[in-house]
């Protein structure tokens, strides 16, 4: 049986992967599917009666400014995922570049990249992001929010990928590739990256999780896109209008539930990918 076939079998037999994929598919498809059944125009301010509890007309009720909460969830969930995906891809992209360069070539390249990552990791990430977001306040949209979060999303992937490359560059297949005349960049592309694909996939899931968490943290402080109903901004506005104290549970609980489902799905997916990539975890499972 080929190695690729064995990998696919491990994917299909891993319960963490299957459960994680199911939960994430629910979150990903929630917005596109429900938009065919819900009038997304109800997300506008003043589109309905304020502070209405869940009913047949408004299944998740309305908020203080008359927005339908279900419509807010349908529009806001994909936007939150978009922020996480953009920031995660940018962060992991730079992490892959810097990690492979530092781990394989070593020397001053390794010293420079590792030093920069280590120094920036000592800076309180949320505080740094708050300063950036505060500077841009009033000019923040979804894409800008993703770029703000991506500023600090590359350091941890750089360190972890560098550590993996350090262990692989002394393996026999890399030495054989060197003897066959391949240069450093060809070895990275042809030999190292294919061997680290499951690990890179798990790193991407972790990067997206961290990016979503960072964006929700900033938005809960009111530093996100003010006129965009992301999950974090929905929580912020519910705090701003004291929804908890006023008993408007239908305003703040749906975005929190969606966030929990998202993170549980990402966590299970990451665990499954770790087991596929790590033989020790496979044996333990």
Residue 5 in any domain: the answer is no
Question: Domain for residue 8, yes or no?
Answer: no
Hey, what are 109's tokens? Answer: 């390249």
Domain boundaries, position 196: 14-284
pLDDT tens, position by position, 172-209: 888 888 888 888 888 888 888 888 887 888 889 889 99
Distance CA 250, CA 278 (A): 42
The predicted structure's pLDDT at residue 1: 42
Long-range pairs of 163-172 with CB within 8 A, sequence gap ≥ 24 = 163/103, 164/99, 164/103, 164/196, 164/199, 165/99, 165/100, 165/102, 165/103, 165/104, 165/192, 165/196, 166/103, 168/192, 168/195, 168/196, 169/103, 169/104
3-state secondary structure of 196: coil
226 domain-assigned: yes
Inter-residue contact 211 to 156 (CB < 8 Å): no
What pLDDT is stored for residue 65 in this prediction? 92
- Determine, yes or no, domain membership for 108: yes
The answer to the question of residue 4 being in a domain is no
Residue ranges for the chain with pLDDT beneath 50? 1-4, 283-285
CATH of the domain at 132: 1.10.3720.10
What pLDDT does residue 97 have?
92
pLDDT score at 7: 56
**Total structural domains within the chain:** 1
- Is residue 6 situated within a structural domain? no
* pLDDT for res 22: 93
The token duo for 121 is: 């990791």
């Amino acid at each position: 049986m080929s190695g690729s076939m064995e990998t696919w079998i491990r994917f299909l037999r891993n319960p963490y992967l299957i459960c994680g994929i199911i939960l994430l598919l629910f979150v990903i498809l929630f917005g596109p599917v429900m938009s065919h059944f819900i009038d997304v125009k109800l997300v506008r301010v003043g589109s309905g009666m304020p502070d209405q509890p869940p009913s047949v007309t408004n299944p998740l009720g309305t908020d203080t400014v008359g927005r339908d909460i279900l419509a807010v969830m349908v529009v806001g969930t994909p936007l939150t995922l978009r922020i996480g995906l953009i920031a995660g891809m940018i962060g992991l992209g730079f992490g892959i570049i810097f990690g492979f360069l530092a781990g394989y070539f070593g020397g001053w390249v390794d010293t420079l990249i590792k030093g920069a990552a280590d120094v920036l990791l000592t800076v309180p990430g949320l505080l740094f992001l708050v300063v950036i977001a505060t500077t841009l306040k009033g000019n923040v949209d979804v894409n800008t929010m993703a770029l703000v979060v991506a500023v600090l999303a590359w350091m941890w992937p750089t360190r972890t990928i560098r550590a993996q490359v350090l262990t692989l560059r002394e393996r026999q297949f890399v030495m054989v590739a060197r003897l066959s005349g391949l240069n450093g960049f060809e070895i990275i592309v042809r030999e190292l990256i294919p061997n680290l694909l499951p690990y890179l996939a798990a790193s991407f899931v972790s990067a997206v999780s961290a990016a979503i968490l960072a964006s929700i943290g900033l938005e809960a402080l009111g530093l996100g896109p003010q006129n965009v109903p992301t999950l974090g901004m929905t929580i912020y506005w519910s705090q701003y209008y004291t929804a908890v104290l006023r008993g408007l549970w239908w305003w703040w609980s749906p975005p929190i539930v969606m966030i929990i489902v998202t993170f549980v799905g990402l966590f299970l997916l990451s665990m499954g990918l770790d087991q596929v990539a790590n033989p020790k975890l496979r044996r333990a499972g």
